[in-house]
Amino acid sequence: MNKLKTILIRNQIIFPGEVIGFSSADSNIIKAQLDAYENDEELFILRYKADNEEERKDSAYTETNGVIAKVESVKNKDNGVIEVVVRALRRGKLISLNNYAENEYEAEVEEYIQSDEGFDRMLNSLQLTMRGYSDVNERFKKHILNELLAIDNLPELLDRLRLALNLDYEKKKIINAAKTPVEESMLLMEIMSEAIDRKEIAEKIKSEVDKDISKNQRDYILREHLKVIQNEMAKNSGYETVSDEYEEKLKNLALADEYKEKIKKDIFRLNTAGGNGAEGNVIRTYLDTVFEMPFGVYSEDFNDIIRAKKILDEDHYGLEKVKDRILEYLSVRILNPTGNSPILCLVGPPGTGKTSIAKSVAKALGRKYVRISLGGVGDEAEIRGHRRTYVGAMPGRIVEAIKHAKVANPLLLLDEIDKSSRDYKGDVSAALLEVLDGEQNKTFRDRYLEIPLDLSKVLFIATANTLDTIPRPLLDRMDIIEISSYTENEKYHIAKSYLVPKEVEANGMKDKGIHFSDKAIKKIIHNYTREAGVRNLSRRIGDICRKCARESLEGKKSFKITEKNIGKYLGKEKVRHDEVEKEPQVGMVTGLAWTSVGGDTLSIEVNIMPGKGVLTLTGNMGDVMKESAGISKSLVRSMAKEYDIEDGFFERNDIHLHIPEGAVPKDGPSAGVTMTTAIISAITGKRVRADVAMTGEITLRGKVLPIGGLKEKLLAAKLAGVKTVCVPKENEVDVSELSAEITEGLEIVYVKDIKEVLKVALTD
């Protein structure tokens, strides 16, 4: 550590190898420099941290790093000015700064290089970066690179490289703040890498610009060639120009004269635009779209109701009500072909065959089938098209579908209509109102096409998983056909007659001797799938067929899939069916719920504990179910005297209502009856029959309201071993429409009031 006289400077950073000059007519101002020259001493040059504000003469306002320098010469000019030349020798670090006289400082300085750890590795990295930098800096490559590569001492290389890179003031400040040569090396490599990246980007941009220029020239030449080729082809077809061909097509187009005149104007504009510029391409695309539309082109329907019934029965098992409704519709179409087509909406859980029913209807009628998926569509222009003034304008999906069908009366499937969305670009559901309204869709006007399109002959069939998200005006324009969950027996017949043959053929096992036993199919249904439809059932059968396909290539000749060896192909059983409690319990009631994969049982538990009258709800309930819990508590309070609940009970006790499986979200208006029964059981200590399940919403007066999804709920109750089910009285008509397979073995009690439920469920 050395004590050196110190010079403070502003707006300048000095590195070893650089020379700095000082001059003044007053020798006191440059006294430190003169004394150092006289005594052959070294100086320490340090920079103020701030360049513009008035700093205190304190080390806190100076940089930590400076340079140790030597005065090389002192000259006295004729005008009395003294010039001092100082050369920076090596870098140093400030330890402390002492102001021992006015404008005179002395600093304790230690050497910048304390250790040579990491020097060798950093030297190699610097050399690699310098080589890369030389590729983008020709001056550096020619005059400096080889000299720098010859240096094998890191500090010496850094001294030379700093000067060679010609750093600006801001970069010098960053380099000067480095604490070690290794850190300084990394900063210098970063500066060189940045220059390399900038050069590469600039070259890439130049290359792209050159490519665009050459592409435009090439496109112009090709367009001119194309123009000549098109005219020659038109001449070969008997036309002088392409516009003549369009005019000939226009004569055969089944359109009103006013719209033909409009198209004529576009053909004239195509001639004046030259046909090959930007405007010409837009007009040509529009005209091609118009002439591809099947105006007045209709396919002939098969007016054979017996054939239609046969096709529906061949393609789908069960679904008798759905088939009857479709056959009724087809009968009306046969008797009154000029009438408006109703819009059918098939509503049901995933995998129940909604899309395949639409295909079967198209097959039965002999119509072209086209499908539009509305899931996630949020742009109104997807339905009505874009205006032609926009860049990249195109017709809407309705027009595209009819153009693809090549007839004006296809069967058009609007898939997932409940999942269309609304955003700042418009409301898809509102755009569909015109499409699906029989009074309006005779003159549906697409913004791109700008020609009325008659959609009254199109048979629209929509599909949805739920009606809750479909706006009421749109729902009002559709005829709803509900497709409920399949029973296990129905799934068995579907698998045996449709899914197994389909998957066997799809997986190349048709002639390989594969056979599924009846019990194996039933076990797959019961223990490996839980769903309303048959989609996962088809996948599990496909899993087995794929494993058998591999075994067949390994030499196995025949495959018998039985109840015993099913685990070999599908592993452990995936589905656990809830079973009701064996003995009556206090405060525990079995409810029934509808889910997207069918029905399920829902245990509701209630505990009473001393407190302040707080109702605690747990089990991931939605807002509707929380409201039901609040209504249930109020109803029980209103019935307190009738069930011998002492005064003040609700002020002195807390009620905790819980639905197990808290990670699963639960919501819906059908748990009020179950919650009320559980609360009364917990308060009175009366047990709830273990073999009873219930469903229904409750009012503040105790009236039981009707619910939906009854078929799925009764199936779930049957699987869980329930013997008695309490169902709202208003749902009696729904139960009467169910097959005996569902209701067999269940005692169904119809209830209008909560007291009737409690009479059935509670036991002394």
Q: Which residues contact 167 (CB under 8 A, 6 or more apart)?
A: 175, 191
Does 353 carry a binding-site annotation? yes
Range 230-237, long-range pairs (CB < 8 A, 24+ positions): 230/275
- pLDDT confidence of residue 597: 63
Does 354 carry a binding-site annotation? yes
Range 174-177, long-range pairs (CB < 8 A, 24+ positions): 175/15, 176/13, 176/15, 176/47, 176/63, 176/65, 177/63, 177/64, 177/65
Active site residue 429: no
676, pLDDT greater than 60: yes
What is each CA distance from 209 to 196, 204, 467, in whole angstroms?
A: 20, 9, 54
What is each CA distance from 264 to 235, 243, 467, in whole angstroms?
A: 20, 10, 46
Q: Which CATH architecture has domain 305-482?
A: 3-Layer(aba) Sandwich (3.40)
Please tell me the distance from the alpha carbon of residue 477 to that of residue 485, in angstroms, as a whole number. Answer: 25
- pLDDT confidence of residue 577: 65
Q: Per-residue pLDDT tens for 445-500? A: 888 888 888 888 888 899 998 888 888 888 888 888 888 778 777 888 888 888 88
Does 708 carry a binding-site annotation? no
- pLDDT confidence of residue 753: 92
CATH class of 585-763: alpha beta
What is the band of 739 on the pLDDT scale with cuts at 50, 70, 90? Answer: confident
Active site residue 703: no
The tally of CA atoms less than 13 A away on the side-chain side of residue 382 is: 21
Beta bridge partners of 19: 87
Q: Which CATH architecture has domain 488-570?
A: Orthogonal Bundle (1.10)
Domain 2-111 has CATH 3.40.640.10: no
**Average of pLDDT values for 557-585?**
81
- pLDDT confidence of residue 229: 62
- pLDDT confidence of residue 386: 85
Does 129 carry a binding-site annotation? no
Helix, strand and coil in the chain, % to nearest 5: 45, 20, 35
Q: Per-residue pLDDT tens for 164-217? A: 888 888 888 888 888 888 888 888 888 888 888 888 887 887 777 777 666 667
Q: Confirm whether pTM is higher than 0.85.
A: no
Q: What's the whole-number average pLDDT of the chain?
A: 83
**Average of pLDDT values for 220-243?**
59
- Tokens representing 475 are 């729902």
What is the band of 52 on the pLDDT scale with cuts at 50, 70, 90? Answer: low
Does 348 carry a binding-site annotation? yes
The catalytic residue among 360, 670, 711, 718 is 670
Domain ranges in the chain are 2-111, 239-292, 305-482, 488-570, 585-763
What is the band of 269 on the pLDDT scale with cuts at 50, 70, 90? Answer: confident
Does 355 carry a binding-site annotation? yes
Please tell me the distance from the alpha carbon of residue 395 to that of residue 410, in angstroms, as a whole number. Answer: 18
Does 352 carry a binding-site annotation? yes
318, pLDDT greater than 80: no
The tally of CA atoms less than 13 A away on the side-chain side of residue 91 is: 23
The catalytic residue among 457, 666, 713, 718 is 713
Does 564 carry a binding-site annotation? no
What is each CA distance from 358 to 36, 113, 345, 371, in whole angstroms?
A: 100, 82, 10, 10
98, pLDDT greater than 80: yes
**What angle separates helix 278-292 from helix 242-251, to the nearest 10 degrees?**
30
What is the band of 250 on the pLDDT scale with cuts at 50, 70, 90? Answer: confident
